[in-house]
Structure 1
């Protein structure tokens, strides 16, 4: 090899050395990239998230039966435990009972002859109690009256029913829908609850009720869609949902829920699409004008570049990228995280002091802007000497490419520093996926989007979802279309507070 190099000209020798250096640089980058991936996997395995269960190979099998001595010892321990619980030592006080609940009073007098005694007082002890769901039959008895002259007959008018000629009332439908979409109880589990009360209802019937109950909400949902399109500030995110594909028997399709959160009004809209492509949010964002806040997904970048749109990025996503880099380059990752932490300290202050939008803007320009400028200059200098494929390089590149969008929340005090409120609205979807696994069809997924929208609004405005849904199902068919918005959860709360 040395002889071959000696025969090369100076120019060729320089090319060989340059080529070798490039290969070494490439291999070094690959090594650092793979090393960071290994560190990340270790962090996922041994960090705070402990979803994985790794069995102990040294653990012996559990015994099938306990010996007489063990049984006697266990019974003695149980007896001691019962005595301990009964005495309740070191009791630190009791939780305050809710004042709005009805009270059932039970008077207890001493046993024996009290005729020669005088009552000198009483002691009151309270406990919180409940009854299981109460099922009952609501029977409408409509009386008929005939005119004495034989000219006509009158009968009491039957109230508007949610499902015409169906047996479920609004309360039962509200319970089923709240159970599935708020408490994540699949319908088959609810069927088991009915069975425990000796109420036998076929699965197909419950599924039909669910579909018909959701369909009643379509006018209200369409109104919500219309109003969401007119908002001037939207946060947007998306999450997957498995949907049974009608074209392929037994196959599941990955569909997507797109969620649009209007922070100024506290409204949330879920929309289903079979696709995650750029055309999916077109019905909502095609004519959108205003502030659009999102993560770094390329589809949002496309809509954010429109002339009438100011695109806001999410500092929470930028922070996550630097958190991933802690095992790759701790000093620089910590430096970035400390600066981001300063930005969030300022945001906490705005909430604690309940500042107005104008005052928030002033505070951000005074306190946040210098931090952002310092961080921007630091990233600009550091990224030049950072390996692009390293995790710290990716974190810097993520923030650097979106710097204007990350700084845009300074424009108005009503804007948020991150997209977290929108992400929070998606959490019920993740919980639902673990329980009912998939939607039965694309149409069923869209119907689910309707109820997810309204339950998310209920949560934001601290409205009881069951009470709202029961009231809405009872009134949506008879309400004047001009007053349809009165059925929004936030308006239901206002009327309930009056």
Structure 2
């Protein structure tokens, strides 16, 4: 080899050295690329482990080791500590910490049961009494409403009169408004599929075919359609909407034996505290068109591209979600802990300002002033830091993805500072979606696209009931009893948020 090199000309020798250096450079570049890919995959594995086995809450609390020093415990001290803990556990088992009996609700009816001592009490005088209360219940009470309408005939034989039958939810059907309200509340609030409710009827020796219960459910939901159409109209007219989507399986599919993947598009109006579920067979850009097609105002969403398109329309101000930005940095803790923690701590300061505004009960104008004073400097600092750091960060790394997510949406993330009524994140609409996720685990799918849309109606109203702390069963029973006879001009009176006023007036 040495002899061969000596016989080479200077130009050939330089070419060999150049080829060698190039090969070494290519090798080093490949090694760096593989190392980066390894680190990226390792970070993804760690993130998936935390998602599967870690705590479900998304709270960032900094490094817990900063408040304590690491040390090794002496074996004797550890044994003594274990014995003390065992004794405390035994003490708790023998003498539980009883904090007193819970106060019973005052609105419940009371059944008084008087108990006198046994034996002859004729020579004794009652000097007092002791009262003990317990909370008791009975299973659902089924009964039959039997309407008996008497006929009257004129004495001169010129005619017969009879009282009108009260409005029925299902014409010529046997279920009353209370029974229908119980079935719908059971399915869409308590997540009891209809076959389980059929079993409950059977325990009371009431035999009702599954097809009959399904028919009742369908007819009751159809009765709510006018109120739902009014809700759609009012939702489109609001000036601030939060939007998100969630999947729902539908049996109506072109593929035999397969379920169609449909979507509920959920719109939350924070100022009115109303929720609208709308079903679409697709997740494409046309799905929100019926609601957002002519929308003007503030639109808040996650980073899904469909929302970006609607957020760029004239007359629309797009708001991003700080909770989603925070999640991206939280996922980067295993990839780049130092920089991820720095970002999370600054985001935590933004949420501290929001908590302060809530706890002090600030008005919208006061909230805006507080944000401009305390949140704006933090946002500016975080923005400058991301702008500088993203230049030297691998785009495919998790910390790079987190920075890119926030950087691409910076104006939308900062837009909540415009008005004190705006929310810092999209969590309110995500909370409204949770009942659907619970329902999916129980009844698994909708029978058809039409059934999915009918379910969207009742999900909308039950979500509003939850926001306004209205009993969903009582609201639905009242609505089913009155929706067929109410004047269309007064249809809004049947909204869940107006139900409390009706109850209060009836109790006066």
Q: Deviating runs (4+, > 4 A) in structure 1?
A: 1-7, 9-22, 87-90
1:276 maps onto 2:283 in alignment = yes
Pick from 348, 355, 360 the counterpart of residue 341 of structure 1: 348
Pick from 190, 200, 203 the counterpart of residue 210 of structure 2: 203
Q: Any conservation in 1 of the 2:40–2:335 contact (CA below 8 Å)?
A: no
Structure 1 residue 250: Cα displacement: 2.9
Give the equivalent residue in structure 1 for 2:82: none
Give the equivalent residue in structure 2 for 1:440: 447
- Partner secondary structure for residue 325 of structure 2: helix
Distance 2:228 2:25 in 1: 64
Q: Structure 1 residues 11, 404: closer, same or farther in 2, change over 3 A?
A: farther
Pick from 360, 369, 385 the counterpart of residue 362 of structure 1: 369
Structure 1 residue 494: Cα displacement: 1.9
Give the equivalent residue in structure 2 for 1:250: 257
Distance 2:127 2:421 in 1: 61
Q: Structure 1 residues 283, 202: closer, same or farther in 2, change over 3 A?
A: same
- Partner secondary structure for residue 282 of structure 2: coil
Q: How does 1:226-245 map to 2 (within 5 A)?
A: 226-245=233-252
Give the equivalent residue in structure 2 for 1:143: 150
1:291 maps onto 2:298 in alignment = yes
Give the equivalent residue in structure 2 for 1:32: 39
Q: Residues 280-333 of structure 1: CA distance to partner in whole angstroms, max 9, x if unpaired?
A: 001110111000000000100111111211000000000001110111111111
- Partner secondary structure for residue 196 of structure 2: helix
Structure 1 residue 43: Cα displacement: 1.9
1:377 maps onto 2:384 in alignment = yes
- Partner secondary structure for residue 15 of structure 2: coil
- Partner secondary structure for residue 270 of structure 1: strand
1:416 maps onto 2:420 in alignment = no
Structure 1 residue 248: Cα displacement: 3.7
Q: Residues 2-47 of structure 1: CA distance to partner in whole angstroms, max 9, x if unpaired?
A: 9899453898778666655543443233122111112112223432
Q: Residues 37-90 of structure 1: CA distance to partner in whole angstroms, max 9, x if unpaired?
A: 12112223432259xxxxxxxxxxxxxxxxxxxxxxxxxxxxxxxxx99x9865
Give the equivalent residue in structure 1 for 2:317: 310
Q: Structure 1 residues 230, 89: closer, same or farther in 2, change over 3 A?
A: closer
Structure 1 residue 387: Cα displacement: 0.8
- Partner secondary structure for residue 135 of structure 2: coil
Give the equivalent residue in structure 2 for 1:108: 115
Distance 1:395 1:247 in 2: 39
- Partner secondary structure for residue 426 of structure 1: helix
Distance 1:258 1:99 in 2: 40
Runs of 5+ unmatched residues, structure 2 = 58-91
Q: Structure 1 residues 126, 254: closer, same or farther in 2, change over 3 A?
A: same
Runs of 5+ unmatched residues, structure 1 = 51-83
Deviates more, 1:299-308 or 1:5-14: 5-14
Q: Any conservation in 1 of the 2:241–2:268 contact (CA below 8 Å)?
A: yes
Q: Structure 1 residues 88, 123: closer, same or farther in 2, change over 3 A?
A: farther
RMSD, aligned CA:
2.2
Q: Residues 337-363 of structure 1: CA distance to partner in whole angstroms, max 9, x if unpaired?
A: 110111001100111011000000000
1:451 maps onto 2:458 in alignment = yes
Structure 1 residue 476: Cα displacement: 0.1
- Partner secondary structure for residue 247 of structure 2: strand
1:387 maps onto 2:394 in alignment = yes
Q: Residues 230-249 of structure 1: CA distance to partner in whole angstroms, max 9, x if unpaired?
A: 11000000000000025444
Give the equivalent residue in structure 2 for 1:490: 497
Q: Any conservation in 1 of the 2:253–2:260 contact (CA below 8 Å)?
A: no
Give the equivalent residue in structure 2 for 1:65: none
Distance 1:317 1:399 in 2: 9
Give the equivalent residue in structure 2 for 1:23: 30
Give the equivalent residue in structure 2 for 1:62: none
Give the equivalent residue in structure 2 for 1:263: 270
Q: Structure 1 residues 148, 390: closer, same or farther in 2, change over 3 A?
A: same
Distance 2:253 2:14 in 1: 70
1:153 maps onto 2:160 in alignment = yes
- Partner secondary structure for residue 132 of structure 2: coil
Q: How does 1:171-182 map to 2 (within 5 A)?
A: 171-182=178-189
1:225 maps onto 2:232 in alignment = yes
Distance 2:165 2:50 in 1: 64
